[in-house]
Amino acid sequence: MGFSRWVFLICSLLMISPITFCCLTSKEASEIPINFLDFAKKAEFFDWMVGVRRKIHENPELGYEEFETSKLIREELDKMGIPYKHPFAVTGVVGYVGSGEPPFVALRADMDALPMQEMLEWEHKSKNPGKMHACGHDAHVAMLLGAARILQEHRQSLKGTVVLVFQPAEEGGGGAKKMIDAGAIENVKAIFGLHVNPGLPVGKVESRPGPLLAANGFFEAVISGKGGHAAIPQHSIDPILAASNVIVSLQHLVSREADPLDSQAITVGKFQGGGAFNVIPDSVTIGGTFRAFSKESFMQLRRRIEEVIVGQATVQRCNATVDFLFHEKPFYPATVNDKDLHNHFLKVAGDIVGTHNVKEMQPLMGSEDFSFFQEVMPGYFFFLGMKDGKATKPASLHSPYFKINEDGLPFGAALHASLATRFLLERNSEVPLLNQNLHDEL
């Protein structure tokens, strides 16, 4: 009996598709994304994803409070017959599709909303006052559940295991770090994540190898002086004047101490002090963020921010204390895409949307806690087009008028599923061990 017939016979007896053991041709591999996209565009499948997304959108929950969102995810995984573990980091869920054996590749979605009031009037507007999915995390969850359903339907084609990571608290809470610390991604060889982009048309994607998003940290400083009446300032020590000098000096860290080719940013967005026109207050509180693309530059900024605030306050006869709020708002590392995974992304995304719709973007100074995963394994993060075709000027992320174009959901689900499936196939591109054993026995 010929070798191929032995493989077919064994597969038939085990009721497993021969694709599990037989190597795909490059043409067959390139057809996987299109097949998955066609599957995701089916009316029933699309309507289901839209329904999931709208349920989450109507019930937004802040970081580490995503109890109903987590429950919905588990219910959907139960319906699909996908095993999972819960909880990780309070509300996190991790599902498993495939053989249950190595290699393992992960797909990640964040679940949390933002503390803001939705101003957009529509049927599925947020029902939780002061909370809104203004960053697309509702769509992220829906697309990862969509990918889970695609993968489960084609699980016998998976040459390994896809780990589905639903994480809490991306918006400043460092949920990814807590998922890692809880052991959510043990033995995973690579991880993929995406983010919606309301300014990019549906059917287009963008990313880049290397640094994509900046490291980010927060700081808050209390500058204390001596309050008094505005008519006799000589009897006071003015913390508002001191804080103003501090803010100007902080900008010099970027304009005069940083290499112009090493992008950095410091922004003071908080300034609180005084409540009367004619009274000098006792103290002022300022706060903001600092960002850089390299760890060295980031830590240099951190050190110099504290030195400048304390030093400039002293010059103005004030005292200052600086808090980097690490326990409340942990520092986010830079999001740095693995170069090999970038090549993988180009191939898979090119097959699904066409190479002309895969754009290489410039780095952004925004941050993303997906970077915590990339510190412990190769990772890749990309942006998915979700532009509303009817809007001439779409609302940006974190806007109370933010809106998702749900036509983009099938692309995200199919890309997720395709990136994972093709990664596992490529990791097993050599002749499988089972085939080698059969050949030896024959």
For 262-308, write each residue's pLDDT tens digit. 999 999 999 999 999 999 999 999 999 999 999 999 999 999 999 99
Q: Answer yes or no: is 15 within a domain.
A: yes
**Residue 268 and residue 407 in one domain:** no
Name 303's Cβ contacts closer than 8 Å, sequence gap at least 6: none
**Residue 200 and residue 227 in one domain:** no
The partner residues of 196 in beta bridges, in order of sequence, read 384
Q: Annotated binding site for Mn(2+), which residues?
A: 135, 137, 171, 195, 398
Name 86's Cβ contacts closer than 8 Å, sequence gap at least 6: 70, 74, 92, 93, 94
Q: Answer yes or no: is 436 within a domain.
A: no
291-302 pLDDT, tens digit each? 999 999 999 999
Last residue within a domain, chosen from 274, 290, 323: 323
**Residue 206 and residue 221 in one domain:** no
**Residue 206 and residue 233 in one domain:** no
What is the count of structural domains for the chain? Answer: 2
**Residue 307 and residue 369 in one domain:** no
**Residue 225 and residue 196 in one domain:** no
For residue 390, the number of C-alpha atoms closer than 13 Å in the C-beta half-sphere is 5
Last residue within a domain, chosen from 280, 299, 323: 323
Last residue within a domain, chosen from 323, 343, 374: 323
**Residue 173 and residue 46 in one domain:** yes
Q: Answer yes or no: is 433 within a domain.
A: no
| Best CA proximity match to 114, nearest among 124, 102, 103, 126 | 126
3-state helix, strand, coil in the chain (%, to 5): 40, 25, 35
**Residue 265 and residue 372 in one domain:** no
Q: Annotated binding site, which residues?
A: 135, 137, 171, 195, 398
Domain range enclosing 52? 3-213+334-427
> Mean pLDDT by 10-residue block, N- to C-terminus, for the chain (442 residues)?
39 39 63 94 98 98 98 98 98 97 97 97 97 98 98 93 98 96 96 97 97 98 98 97 98 96 97 97 98 96 98 98 93 97 98 97 97 98 90 88 96 98 85 35 28
Pairing of strands 335-337, 104-110: unpaired
Q: Answer yes or no: is 81 within a domain.
A: yes
Residue 429, token pair as written in the block: 């591109």
CATH code for position 284: 3.30.70.360
**Residue 60 and residue 96 in one domain:** yes
**Residue 138 and residue 153 in one domain:** yes
d(CA 72, CA 84): 13
| The pLDDT value given to residue 429 | 67
d(CA 103, CA 100): 9
| The pLDDT value given to residue 428 | 82
**Residue 157 and residue 171 in one domain:** yes
CATH code for position 156: 3.40.630.10
Q: Answer yes or no: is 314 within a domain.
A: yes
Q: Answer yes or no: is 435 within a domain.
A: no
| Best CA proximity match to 344, nearest among 424, 404, 250, 408 | 424
**Residue 250 and residue 198 in one domain:** no
The residue behind tokens 């947020």 is: 126
Q: Answer yes or no: is 153 within a domain.
A: yes
| The pLDDT value given to residue 25 | 64
Q: Answer yes or no: is 440 within a domain.
A: no
